[in-house]
Chain A
């Protein structure tokens, strides 16, 4: 087994670890973090595939590597939106629980701010 293959196995394990965290952590922020762990596992796996495609004097196949850079930036964009939505939810309701039985707010919905995000 060579080094690239070892990283391939680590990548597979990271996807598993992230999936476990996504399911068992009740906090949304931890779910976002776990999702990023899954994402980095997928990226690493793709990086291993790029490394195996080394040819023409290049250390790795540049096409998957270029796609990875795009992927990392897009994953950051999605994380930024998710974290912002979460912070806004906390600001509005004072809680971030995902439980289905949410205690009703004291005085109905917020004053006309429900459409603010549309």
Chain B
């Protein structure tokens, strides 16, 4: 896909009207009229309060909304703010909305913002998700200030419920950490900031343009920054909640967005083959906490979906995982609910075998990702059962143990990759 198809003439025209800026806050949208007003107000307040002397623009990269999202962004003006918010604002704060080409995917939206950051020569650019309705003006400062100081990519950390972000806790974070040797807690960030240097580096990269078609481009951006040696930091933003009108992502969609790009990256970044221990990434603004509010969850359904999945997909799994792993999965599926335990080692081996099969494309790659869904549900069941009565520290210890198992079994992935197993 050519980058011209994403950066349309209208998009470039809007950017040219703005001229060079110091800061960009990008908000990719698609039919987000219900939340966009609140997001833009918070972003404006943050920019005026914390960056009064900088040239800044709020850039809404829209995928073709039909619900007046763009009009709402354009309607927002500096007069909407309370005059007392910042009496020292010296610069014009632009708020523009432009439609990128190629249809609505978060990857294209992000690529359009990267292009804008490169073309407007900004020093720092933040990206805010349109469904982060609990955004505070301080988030803008927490994300952009570290970039202005020294860092190239600032990813968020949140106070999250112990059962929130199960795919991130059980696969995306541990595997990214094991492969690329950086302890980034949210490698698939909703909000993040990057430097102009990183934007220029990524914009126009062949692999990136290909990945821009996908929905998991945010994860790919994180991995690109790690493997290219850019300086990383994490910023505590507070609690993460979703907009009420946006239901949580479907498991299969989440796997496509979170796991697909991770497997895809293995082909493009051979850096993962080096045997380096993971190192921490500084967390600015305090440490995240695990919250423990009571939550009613139907674990039985996860267990049932795992069992039926292994039973129905056995011939398919036979092409993806090894015979030994398949036998262990079948044995696991035959166990009663109270004896069920999808342990760390088996889970890690399963994931690595899926990654190797994805690399060899033994089946259609999207089908491989879909076939992981029932197994992920089984792992989620075990995680929920193990941590049902756990305090925050214990949950963190369990996640850390899983991360170490992913690191320990990294040579196993190497062997699978080279066809030695």
Asked if chains A and B come from one complex, the reply is no
Binding site for A on B (CB under 8 A): none
Binding site for B on A (CB under 8 A): none
